[in-house]
Amino acid sequence: MQTVVTNSPKDTQKLAQNLAAQFKDGGIIALTGDLGAGKTTFVQGFAKGLGIKDKIISPTFVLMREHKIPNTDTVFYHLDLYRLEEPIDIVNIGLKDLIQNPENIILIEWSEKLGENLPHNATKINIEKLDQASRKITVQ
């Protein structure tokens, strides 16, 4: 387990950008934290670290956005499950198929909504708001 305190959105993005290097060949990231904690801010840095130039906005209403990584066959899937009322079968959102391919890079905001369906090999990252500009980021 690794804990870091960031003191600005830029700090959080830098941290995420550096972490992304570990996931270039695929992986699942389960991101938790309250509304406004900084999850989407984190994803913006993470996507940048993957070489993605698209604007990253939270897929709150569509649940998932796909971003192709330039010059590769790899796709980054960004999910935001905030609007799900209860843990649902991951098949319903197509996540099960995506997980079958270990080369996919899958990041799930509000991953706690998956309950028991959260893949066991996911890297868990929690963001906690300490004050206006500080966040405690725990990676495990």
Determine if 78 is a binding residue for ligand ADP (CB under 6 A): no
**Considering the complex, what minimum distance in angstroms separates the CB of residue 31 from ligand ADP?**
8
What radius of gyration do the chain's Cα atoms show? Answer: 14
| Shortest distance in whole angstroms from residue 60 CB to Mg ion | 7
35 binds ligand ADP (CB under 6 A): yes
Choice between 58 and 74, CB closer to Mg ion = 58
Asked if residues 29 and 123 have their Cβ atoms less than 8 Å apart, the reply is yes
In a 10 Å sphere around its CB, with 0-12 CB exposed, 13-18 middle and 19+ buried, how is residue 76 labelled? buried
Number of residues that bind Mg ion (CB under 5 A): 3
17 Cβ neighbours under 8 A, 6+ residues apart: 45, 46, 48, 49
**Residue 58 in contact with Mg ion, rule: CB under 5 A:** yes
Instruction: State the amino acid at position 24 in one-letter form.
Output: K
What amino acid occupies position 140?
Answer: Q
Choose one: 21-29, 39-47, 93-101, 116-124; the region binding ligand ADP (CB under 6 A).
Answer: 39-47
Which residue ranges make up the site for ligand ADP (CB under 6 A)?
Answer: 6-9, 11-12, 33, 35-41, 58, 133-135
